[in-house]
């Protein structure tokens, strides 16, 4: 998995601590458990400086955490749908949250061995389904570069990187 595979459109960097109203994507809902060097922690317990386990670089230092409460299209993913313990419990994510898919879906739907896709594109009506527009407390995790995080057994894209200082 090359970090450059993570999509991050230009012009989507926001001030720290609050998610811009029209960019509530690649954000984890409260209660999602993220793998860190301090163990598996709920996303709401993470702060800048925490070291998060990533698929593409091993460990990355969290640069910023932005949060908001927003009504978003949400997707429910049944436990074990994307592989053994993927997710490790039933999960709900924003429809625009990008997931790394590395099973038969990547080949059949996207012609690749792996694909980074918004959760909403994976709806099958049974195991991955729309739960409608719901209000969620969302947390965007930003690093100095894009990464793939482990949360609730899913492989999820981080938010756009923070801008370089200076």
pLDDT tens per residue across span 105-158: 888 888 899 999 999 999 999 999 999 999 999 999 999 999 999 999 999 999
pLDDT value of position 99: 94
Sketch the domain layout of the chain as residue ranges: 17-157
pLDDT tens per residue across span 3-54: 434 443 433 333 334 444 444 479 999 999 999 999 999 999 999 999 999 9
pLDDT value of position 69: 95
Q: How far apart are CA 55 and CA 157, in angstroms?
A: 10
- Cross-strand partners of 35: 40
pLDDT value of position 163: 59
Radius of gyration from C-alpha coordinates of the chain: 15
pLDDT value of position 161: 81
pLDDT value of position 108: 87
pLDDT value of position 52: 98
- Fold (CATH) for 17-157: Endonuclease - Pi-scei; Chain A, domain 1 (2.170.16)
pTM of the model: 0.81
Helix runs in 97-139, H state only: 104-110
Q: How far apart are CA 89 and CA 80, in angstroms?
A: 7
Query: Which residue carries 């993470």 as its tokens?
Result: 46
Question: Are the C-beta atoms of residues 49 and 141 closer than 8 Å to each other?
Answer: no
pLDDT value of position 107: 87
- Within 13 A of 20's CA, how many CA atoms are on the CB side? 9
pLDDT value of position 6: 40
Question: Are the C-beta atoms of residues 14 and 67 closer than 8 Å to each other?
Answer: no
Helix runs in the chain, H state only: 104-110
């Amino acid at each position: 998995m090359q970090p450059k595979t993570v999509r991050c459109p230009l012009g989507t960097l926001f001030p720290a601590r609050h998610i811009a109203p029209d960019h509530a994507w690649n954000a984890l809902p409260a209660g999602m458990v993220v793998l860190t060097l301090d163990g598996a922690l709920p996303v709401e317990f993470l702060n800048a400086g925490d070291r998060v386990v990533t698929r593409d670089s091993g460990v990355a230092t969290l640069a910023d955490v932005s949060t908001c409460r927003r009504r978003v299209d949400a997707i429910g993913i049944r436990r074990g749908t994307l592989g053994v313990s993927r997710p490790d419990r039933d999960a709900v994510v924003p429809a625009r949250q990008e997931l790394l898919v590395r099973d038969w879906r990547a080949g059949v739907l996207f012609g690749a061995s792996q694909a980074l896709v918004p959760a909403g594109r994976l709806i099958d009506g049974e195991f991955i389904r729309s739960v409608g527009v719901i209000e969620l407390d969302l947390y965007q995790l930003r690093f100095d570069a894009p990464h793939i995080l482990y949360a609730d057994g899913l492989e999820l894209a981080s938010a756009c990187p923070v801008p370089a200082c200076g």
